[in-house]
Structure 1
Amino acid sequence: MTTGLRGRRGRLARAWSAAAVCALALAGCSAQARADGGGGSAGAGDRPTATGTAGATGKARPKPSATPPKSLAGARINIADGQTVGVGMPISVTFERPIPVAERADVERQLKVTADVEGSWGWVKDRNLLDGQRVDFRPRAYWKPGTAVTVRAGAGITRHFTVGRSFVATVDVRTHFMTLETAGSSRRVPITAGAPGMDTWNGTMVVSDKASKIFMDSKTVGYGDQYHDYYYYAVHLTTSGTYVHMNPKANTYGGRQNVTHGCVGLATGGPAKRFFDEVIPGDVVKVVNSRDTVAVGNGYGDWNLDWDQWRATSALA
C-alpha cells in the first residue's frame, strides 16, 4: 500500500508521497579540477574560505516556475537505477528551477518511496543551487543493510536501488585516528586532519563519489599557492571540497598531529588504497572533536539535523 507522506512522527509504512526528485551536483569548488577513475567527477581543494553561490558563472539565475511541475519534468535523482549504496545515502532530487514555497507540498505529494523504513522528505538549501531546487528523503536512522528501495517521481521517473553493508568511519581529530566499523568488525587507522585555522568540518558526511586521481589547486579555495598537484585515492565528502585521500604528510604526522588544509589524510600505500577500495557512495564518515559543523546542503549533510529538525523541513510537516 502506498500512502501520502505527511511527516507524522512514528509512522512506519511501505511508501510515502513526497517532494520532487533532484540530482545532487557534488562537483567540488574548483573549475580547474580534474578527476580520473573511481566513480565520477570531483572538485579540488580542502576546506574553502568562501561559499560558492549559484549564478557565479554569470548565467542568468532561473526564475520560479509559473505553475507546479505536475509531471516533475526536469527532475533528477541522485541514485542510479540498480545501484548499491551505503547506509547513509539520502535520496536527493534536484530541479531545473526553484520550487516556490507555496508549491512544495504539491511537489512532495508526487513522490513515492517504497521501502520498509520510517523517513521524511525535507527541502535542502544546496550549496550550489537556489533555495527550492533540492529536496531529500532521509530515514529516521541509517538505512538497514539489504533494504530494497523504489523511488517514483511523478509519472515518468522510477529508480530501484539496494542498501549495501554498513560502513561507518569515525574520524577523531583530537586523537588523530579514524575508526572503521563494518560487518561486525572494527579497526583504527592513523590520520592527519585540518591544521588549526583550516579545521576539518565537524559532523556527519556521506561519500558522494571517489576518484583514483584528482587535481587539487589551493587557489580555488582561497589558500594561495599552498598546493597545486594531483592527489590519489580521493574519497569525496562535501561540495566545498573535503576528501579523505592519500597524503604523504600522513606518513610523518598520521596519529600525531593535524597538518592538512581541511581534508583527512591517509598514509601512502596500504592505508589510503584499502580505504578507497572499501568505500562506496552512501558510506558514512563522521568527524568528531573538530569545530564548525558541516552545513546540510554542503554535500549530503542531512544527518546533522536531528529527526524533529529534519521532519520540520518538509512542506507536509
Structure 2
Amino acid sequence: MRVAADTPYARASTAAADKAAGGHNDGAGKASGARPAPSVPEPAVLAQARVNISDGQTVGVGMPISVTFSQPVPAAERKGVESWLRVQTSSGTRGAWSWVKDHNLLDGQRVDFRPSTTYWQSGTQITLSLGSHGARRFTIGRSLLATVDAKTHMMTVRTGGTAQRIQVTTGAPGTDTWNGTMVVMDKQPKVYMDSRTVGLGDTYHGYYYWAVHLTTSGTYVHQNPRANTEAGHRNVTHGCVGLASNGTAQRFYDRVRVGDVVTVTGADKDTVAAGNGYGDWNLTWKQWLAHSETGATTTA
C-alpha cells in the first residue's frame, strides 16, 4: 500500500554551537589535517535549518544526516553552507555532504552527509554543529539490514551475526515495489492509507497496522491481511511490502528503529531516487561526490 507522506524534520536546537573540526579533502582524494575554519560569513539559511535526527537520538546504521532549508540555496552559496555544517564522529568516519533533490522540495533545499563506502559503524557518537544555531549529538545503534527478494517473496533480516527469513508479498505487476536501498524514516502502529492520494483510484482506504515507513512517496513494510495467504507465494500489494497478521508484522515493527536499512531486489521497477526518503545509498561514491562542494572529509 502507499500513502502520500512527508517526514517531519526536527528544528535545529538553539544551544551554543560546538566548534568541532574534522578532516578535509586535500584535493588529491586524501583526507588531511584539521578542517579549516569557514572562509565565508555564516549563511543566513542556517537559522531556519531543520535536521532529521533529534538531539540524543539513537538511529540505525543507514541514516544519513539530512539538513533541509526553508528556501533553496543558490549553487554559488552551497560551498559556504557545507563549510559551516561541521560533523564530528568518534570513529574517524570518511564521508561527504551532497545536495539531494528531495521528493517534496526544490533543488537546493536539502543537503545530506553519509559515509563513503559503507554504513555507519555501530556505536559511533556523532555531533553535527550548525554554526551559531546549535548542535545535535546522536548515536549509531546496532546494525539491522533487511533484504527483500521480490522474486522469491522472502525477506532476510540480519542483526549482528544472526539472520531470519520472513515470507512477504510485494507489489503486484503494475504497482511494483521500488528496487534499491531504503532507510526507515519513521514507524507508526497504524497509518491511514488512501489510494486516491497516490493516483491509484478508489482501490483501498483504511488503517493499516505496524507500518514501517520507507519512502516519501508512500512505501511501507506493514501488516497486510492478504499476506496471510499470499506471503511467500505471490506479489499482490500496491507497492508496499506486506507481512502476515499472525504476529509477523508486529515482531518486525518492534525490532526496527529509524535509520535501519531495507533493500529490495528483483522487483520490476526502477531504483528508488536518492531524495525519495533516504535513498542516498543508491548512489555510488563517485556520484555522491559529484553533488558535493567541499568533497570528502575524515571526521574526528
Q: How would you bin the TM-score normalised by the shorter chain?
A: 0.7 to 0.9
Distance 1:180 1:18, change over 3 A: farther
Compared with structure 1, are the counterparts of its residues 8 and 306 closer, same or farther at alpha carbon in structure 2 (3 Å cutoff)?
farther
Tell me the distance in 2 between the aligned counterparts of 1:18 and 1:212: 45
Q: How does 1:1-317 map to 2 (within 5 A)?
A: 2-3=21-22, 5-6=24-25, 11=30, 69-70=43-44, 72-115=46-89, 116-140=92-116, 141-290=118-267, 291-317=269-295
Q: Give TM-score, length-normalised by structure 1.
A: 0.81
- Separation in 2, partners of 1:225, 1:157: 46
Deviation string, structure 1 residues 185-210 (Cα, Å, up to 9, x no partner): 00100000000111100000000100
CA distance in 2: counterparts of 1:292 and 1:7, whole angstroms: 36
**What is the match of residue 52 of structure 1?**
none
The alpha carbon displacement at 1:69 in A equals 2.0
Query: What is the distance in 2 between the residues matched to 1:292 and 1:5?
Result: 35
User: TM-score under structure 2 normalisation?
Assistant: 0.85
Contact 2:23 2:32 in 1 (8 A): no
2-structure distance, mates of 1:188, 1:224: 34
How has the CA–CA distance of structure 1 residues 98 and 117 changed in structure 2, closer, same or farther, with 3 Å as cutoff? same
Task: Name the SS of the counterpart of 2:132 in structure 1.
Answer: coil
Query: Whole-Å Cα distance in 1 between the matches of residues 146 and 36 of structure 2?
Result: 32
Asked if the contact 1:71/1:155 (under 8 Å) is kept, the reply is no
Change (3 A) 1:229 1:308: same
Offset at residue 11 of structure 1 (A): 4.2
Task: Please tell me whether the aligned partners of residues 169 and 179 of structure 1 are also in contact (alpha carbons under 8 angstroms).
Answer: yes
Contact 1:120 1:137 in 2 (8 A): yes
CA positional deviation for 1:71: 7.0
Take 1:246 and 1:273, find their aligned partners in 2: how far apart are those partners?
A: 8
Partner of 2:298: none
What whole-Å deviation, never above 9, does each CA across 1:281-316 have from its counterpart, x for those lacking one?
Answer: 000000011121000100001000011111111022
Query: Where do 4+ consecutive residues of structure 1 move more than 3 Å?
Result: 3-19
Q: Is the 8 A contact 2:86 2:130 kept in 1?
A: yes
Alpha-carbon deviation of 1:183?
Answer: 1.8
Contact 1:16 1:111 in 2 (8 A): no
Q: Per the alignment, do residues 207 and 114 of structure 1 end up closer, same or farther by CA in structure 2, a change over 3 Å counting?
A: same
Q: Deviations over 1:240-282 (max 9, x none)?
A: 0000000011111100000000000000031100000010000
Stretches of structure 2 that go unaligned for 5 or more consecutive residues are 1-19, 296-300
Change (3 A) 1:202 1:77: same
Give a deviation string over 1:70-107, Cα, whole Å, max 9, x none: 57110111100000000000000000110000000011
1:207–1:283 CA contact under 8 A, matched in 2: yes
Match of 2:6 in 1: none
- In structure 2, the CA distance between the partners of 1:3 and 1:296, relative to structure 1 (3 Å rule), is same
Q: Distance in 2 between matches of 1:84 and 1:169?
A: 18
The more displaced of 120-129 and 3-12 is: 3-12
Q: Distance in 1 between matches of 2:220 and 2:37?
A: 31
Alpha-carbon contact 2:24-2:32 (below 8 Å) kept: no
Say which is worse superposed, 257-266 or 71-80, in terms of deviation.
Answer: 71-80
AA aligned to 1:308 is K
The 8 Å contact of residues 13 and 118 in structure 1, kept in 2 or not, is answered as no
Sequence identity of aligned pairs in percent? 60
Q: Is the 8 A contact 2:175 2:238 kept in 1?
A: yes
Equivalent AA in structure 2 for residue 204 of structure 1: T
